[in-house]
C-alpha cells in the first residue's frame, strides 16, 4: 500500500489530465456506441431509413405489436453478443440495398424460430383458454347492411401432462414436420406428426402428383407459431377489409348509401399516381350529388369526410413503388382469402394406408358460426355437445355429411331449409353455405373416388314411393338437394324433367317441421297460409316481391333460389275454409276480387284515378303497386 501511494504521488498534474481526458473519451465512445446500437434497433429506424420498408412499417404501426421493437422479433430477445453477431450478418441486406441487388416485392427468406421471439412473451405452456370473437362485415348494398358473425375460438394451449394441450395450440405442443413446394409454404404435400410416445404418423395429399423420391428432396420445416401467425405484425388489408374497419370504427358513416360498394370500387384499382387516385376517388362526390341528391344536400360534410378517408386508406393499401398490395403476402390465419388452415386441414391429406385423414371440421377449432343480421337478436353460442354420434367422429365426416341426411339429424339440429343460407335454422347457416370455400378439398376428384357412395340396388317398381325423412317446412325447392346434379341425394334418372310441384304428390313427409326455429315468416314451423282466395291471382310476386308497403314480402332465401310465381302454391295453401269465388263476384268477407267495368278494357295508369279519389280509392295495402299488378288480379268483365 505504501509503495502504491508513493507511485500515485509521483503522477504529475499533466498525467492526471491525460488520464481524466482518456476516461471521458472512452465514456463518450461507450455512450455513443450504446446510443447508435439502441437507435439502430428502434422501429422508426428499421421502418423509415430504407425505402423498401414503408409498407411494412405502416402495417406494423396498426398491428397488436406496435410497441414491440422490430429487432425483438427479427433478431430475438437474447444476449447482446448473440444479437450483435446476428445483426452483423444482416449487413448483407445493406450491401444488397446499396448495390440495388434486390427486386420487388420482397419476401423474408427466413425468420428467427418462434422460441427465440414469440415464446419470450407468449409462453405456450402457460395459457389455455377459449376466446369469443366477432367478425363484422357490411354488405355492398344501398343500406350497407351489417352482419356480425360470432365464434368461440378453441385456442387451447397448455400441456398434455396437465391434461390440456388441446385446441388450436395443440400444434405447438406436439412435433409436426412438413415439406413444402413453394416459397410461401402454401403447398404442403407431406406432413409427419410425432406423438409423445415417439410414434410417427405420416399424411400425404391424395391429389399430389409427386413421388416419394421427389417429396424426400423437398425442403422441410418444423411447425411453430409463425406458420399460422405469419402476418401478425404486417397484415395488408384488402379494400373490403379496410371498408369494414372504417365503417365499424366510424371513420366513415355507414348511413351513406352504397358507401361500402362504392368505396371498395374506388380503392381496388391501382392508379398511375397518388394524385390520380385522389382525383378518381373524389369523383364519388359527383355520384352522390346525382344519385342521392337529397341525402347529399343534407349530409355534404359527411360525404366529403368519407371521400377524404378513402383517399387516406388508398395510400395504406397500395404501394406501387414496392410492387405491394393485399394480394402479395399470404395470411395463414383462417381459411377464406388464403389457404391458411386448409393447407393441411383440407380433407384430402390421408395416412399412407388411406384410412384416416387430417380432420376437416369447423368445430375442431371453433364453434359453428352464429350469424347476426340487422334487427335480429344475438344467439347463444352453442358449445360442444357430449352426445356426438359416432358418424361425426370419423375423420372424413364433413365430406360425407352432404350425402348423409336422415331423421336422426333432427335429434340435435333444426333442419329447416337444409343446405340453404337464410339463417333460419342450424342447417341453413350462411356462414357455412353462403361462402365459396375454394381452398377446401371437399370437391377433390380423388376424394370423391375414395368416398364413393355404394351402388344402390334397383328399386321395386311396385313398391310405394319413399317417404320424406326430414321436415319440409321452409324448404319448398326439393331440387336444391335432390336435383340431377346435386351431391346430396339426386333423384333417379327416371325422374328427369319432373318439377317440384310433383314431388309431394307421391312422397310424403314423416317428420314434422321443427318448432324450435320456425320457417321464415311463420311461427308454426310450416309455410305461411294464404289469407285470401287465389282464383285469378297468378302473379304472387307482383305484390309479395315488389317491396310494396303493408304487404308481406318474400324472404331472402326465396330470392336466393329464384323461386317464381308458379312455385308459390306448392307450399303456401289457402286457409281452411277460405272460399274461392270467381273473378266476377263483388268483394266479400272471404276476400273476393273486384272486376273492372267492361269500358275499362285497354286502360293504363290505374293509379292516376284510384289514388286521386276518382273512382274507388286504393286500399292502404296497395300502395306502390304497378299497373301490371292491378291487371293480374282485377280482370275486365
Compute CA distances 260 → 147, 336, 460, whole Å. Answer: 13, 20, 57
Closest CA to 112 of 92, 83, 134, 145: 83
Local confidence band at 47 (pLDDT 50, 70, 90 cut-offs): confident
How far apart (Å, rounded) are the C-alpha atoms in residues 279 and 25? 57
pLDDT of residue 611: 72
Q: What is the pLDDT of residue 622?
A: 74
Residue 462 confidence class, pLDDT cut points 50, 70, 90: confident
DSSP 8-class letter at 427: G
pLDDT in the model for residue 584: 38
Q: What is each CA distance from 286 to 272, 283, 291, 575, in whole angstroms?
A: 21, 5, 8, 52
pLDDT > 60? residue 369: yes
Positive or negative CA dihedral for 87, 90, 91, 94? negative
Residue 2 CA: distances (Å) to CA of 5, 11, 108, 303, 378: 5, 15, 64, 88, 88
Alpha-carbon distance 289 to 295, whole Å?
A: 8
Stronger pLDDT, 511 or 359, i.e. the higher one:
359
Helix, strand or coil for residue 412?
coil
Q: What is the mean pLDDT of residues 479-487?
A: 74
pLDDT grade for 252, boundaries at 50, 70 and 90: very high
Please state, in angstroms and rounded to a whole number, the distance separating the CA atoms of residues 341 and 441: 12
- Identify the band that residue 525 occupies on the pLDDT scale cut at 50, 70 and 90: very low
Nearest to residue 316, comparing CAs of 63, 104, 122, 543?
63
Q: Side by side, which strands form the sheet with 128-138? A: 128-138, 146-157, 370-373
63, 67, 61, 69: which is closest to 43 by C-alpha?
A: 69
22-39 pLDDT tens trace? 999 999 999 999 999 889
pLDDT in the model for residue 614: 67
Average pLDDT in the 410-414 region? Answer: 76
Model pLDDT for residues 121-135, shown as the tens digit of each residue: 887 777 767 888 999
pLDDT at 212: 92
Asked whether the predicted pLDDT for residue 592 surpasses 60, the reply is no
585 pLDDT more than 60: no
Please compute the mean of the pLDDT values over residues 326-348 and round it to a whole number: 92
Span between the terminal Cα atoms of the chain, in Å: 134
Average confidence (pLDDT) over 325-329 = 92
Q: Taking 80 as the threshold, does the pLDDT of residue 333 lie above it?
A: yes
How confident is the model over 147-203, as pLDDT tens digits? Answer: 999 988 988 876 765 656 678 888 888 899 999 999 899 999 999 999 888 899 999
3-state secondary structure of 252: coil
The neighbouring-strand residues paired with 524 are none
Q: Work out the percent of the chain whose per-residue pLDDT is above 70.
A: 84
Is the pLDDT assigned to residue 459 strictly greater than 80? no
Instruction: Output the average pLDDT for the chain.
Output: 82
Which of 89-93, 302-306, 522-526, 571-575 has the lowest average pLDDT? 522-526
* Domains of the chain with bracketed CATH: 14-115 (1.10.3820.10), 239-322 (no CATH), 540-633 (no CATH)
Cell numbers that stand for 97 in this block: 440495398
Q: Please tell me which residue, 300 or 623, carries the higher pLDDT value.
A: 300
Q: How many residues does the chain have?
A: 637
Choose among 336, 360, 517: nearest CA to 429. 517
Amino acid at each position: 500500500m505504501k509503495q502504491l501511494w508513493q507511485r500515485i504521488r509521483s503522477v504529475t498534474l499533466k498525467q492526471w489530465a491525460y488520464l481524466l481526458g482518456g476516461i471521458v473519451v472512452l465514456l463518450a465512445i461507450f455512450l455513443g456506441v450504446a446510443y447508435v446500437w439502441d437507435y439502430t434497433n428502434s422501429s422508426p429506424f428499421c421502418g423509415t431509413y430504407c425505402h423498401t420498408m414503408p409498407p411494412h412499417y405502416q402495417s406494423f404501426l396498426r398491428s397488436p405489436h406496435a410497441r414491440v421493437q422490430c429487432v425483438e422479433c427479427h433478431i430475438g430477445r437474447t444476449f447482446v453478443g448473440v444479437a450483435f453477431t446476428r445483426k452483423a450478418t444482416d449487413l448483407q441486406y445493406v450491401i444488397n440495398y446499396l448495390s440495388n441487388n434486390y427486386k420487388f416485392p420482397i419476401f423474408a427468406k427466413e425468420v428467427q424460430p418462434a422460441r427465440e421471439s414469440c415464446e419470450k412473451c407468449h409462453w405456450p405452456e402457460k395459457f389455455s383458454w377459449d376466446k369469443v370473437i366477432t367478425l363484422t362485415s357490411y354488405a355492398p348494398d344501398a343500406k350497407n347492411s351489417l352482419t356480425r358473425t360470432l365464434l368461440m375460438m378453441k385456442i387451447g394451449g397448455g400441456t398434455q401432462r396437465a391434461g390440456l394441450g388441446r385446441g388450436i395450440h395443440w400444434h405447438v405442443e406436439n412435433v409436426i414436420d412438413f415439406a413444402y413446394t413453394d416459397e410461401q409454404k402454401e403447398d404442403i404435400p407431406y406432413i409427419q406428426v410425432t406423438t409423445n410416445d415417439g410414434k410417427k404418423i405420416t399424411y400425404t395429399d391424395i391429389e399430389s402428383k409427386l413421388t416419394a423420391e421427389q417429396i424426400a428432396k423437398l425442403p422441410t420445416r418444423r411447425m411453430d407459431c409463425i406458420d399460422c401467425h405469419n402476418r401478425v405484425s404486417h397484415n395488408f388489408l384488402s379494400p373490403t377489409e379496410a371498408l369494414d374497419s372504417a365503417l365499424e370504427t366510424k371513420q366513415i358513416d355507414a348511413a351513406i348509401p352504397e358507401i361500402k360498394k362504392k368505396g371498395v370500387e374506388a380503392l381496388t384499382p391501382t392508379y398511375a399516381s397518388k394524385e390520380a387516385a385522389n382525383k378518381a376517388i373524389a369523383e364519388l362526390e359527383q355520384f352522390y350529388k346525382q344519385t342521392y341528391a337529397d341525402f347529399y344536400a343534407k349530409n355534404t360534410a359527411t360525404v366529403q369526410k368519407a371521400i377524404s378517408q378513402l383517399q387516406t386508406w388508398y395510400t395504406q393499401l397500395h404501394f406501387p413503388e414496392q410492387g405491394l398490395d393485399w394480394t402479395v403476402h399470404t395470411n395463414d390465419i383462417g381459411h377464406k382469402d388464403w389457404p391458411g388452415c386448409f393447407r393441411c386441414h383440407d380433407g384430402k391429406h390421408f395416412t399412407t394406408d388411406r384410412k384416416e385423414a387430417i380432420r376437416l371440421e369447423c368445430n375442431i377449432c371453433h364453434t359453428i358460426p352464429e350469424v347476426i343480421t340487422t334487427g335480429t337478436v344475438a344467439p347463444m353460442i352453442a358449445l360442444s355437445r357430449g352426445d356426438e354420434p359416432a358418424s361425426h367422429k370419423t375423420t372424413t365426416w364433413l365430406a360425407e355429411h352432404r350425402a348423409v341426411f336422415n331423421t336422426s339429424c333432427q335429434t340435435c339440429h333444426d333442419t329447416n331449409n337444409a343446405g340453404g343460407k337464410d339463417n333460419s335454422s342450424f342447417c341453413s347457416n350462411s356462414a357455412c353455405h353462403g361462402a365459396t370455400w375454394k381452398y377446401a378439398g371437399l370437391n377433390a376428384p380423388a376424394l370423391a373416388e375414395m368416398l364413393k357412395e355404394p351402388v344402390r340396388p334397383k328399386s321395386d317398381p311396385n313398391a310405394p314411393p319413399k317417404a320424406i325423412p326430414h321436415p319440409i317446412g321452409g324448404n319448398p325447392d326439393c331440387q336444391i338437394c335432390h336435383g340431377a346434379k346435386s351431391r346430396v341425394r339426386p333423384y333417379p334418372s327416371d325422374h328427369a324433367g319432373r318439377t317440384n310441384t310433383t314431388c309431394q304428390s307421391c312422397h310424403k313427409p314423416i317428420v314434422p317441421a321443427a318448432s324450435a326455429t320456425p320457417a321464415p315468416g311463420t311461427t308454426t314451423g310450416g309455410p305461411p297460409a294464404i289469407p285470401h282466395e287465389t282464383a285469378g291471382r297468378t302473379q304472387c310476386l307482383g305484390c309479395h316481391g315488389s317491396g310494396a308497403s303493408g304487404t308481406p314480402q318474400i324472404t331472402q332465401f326465396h330470392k336466393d333460389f329464384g323461386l317464381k310465381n308458379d312455385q308459390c302454391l306448392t307450399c303456401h295453401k289457402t286457409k281452411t275454409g277460405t272460399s274461392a269465388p270467381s273473378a266476377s263476384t263483388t268483394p266479400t268477407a272471404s276476400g273476393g276480387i273486384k272486376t273492372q267495368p267492361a269500358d275499362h278494357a285497354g286502360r293504363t295508369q290505374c293509379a292516376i284515378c284510384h289514388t286521386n279519389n276518382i273512382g274507388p280509392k286504393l286500399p292502404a295495402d296497395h300502395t306502390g303497386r304497378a299497373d301490371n299488378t292491378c291487371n293480374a288480379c282485377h280482370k275486365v268483365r
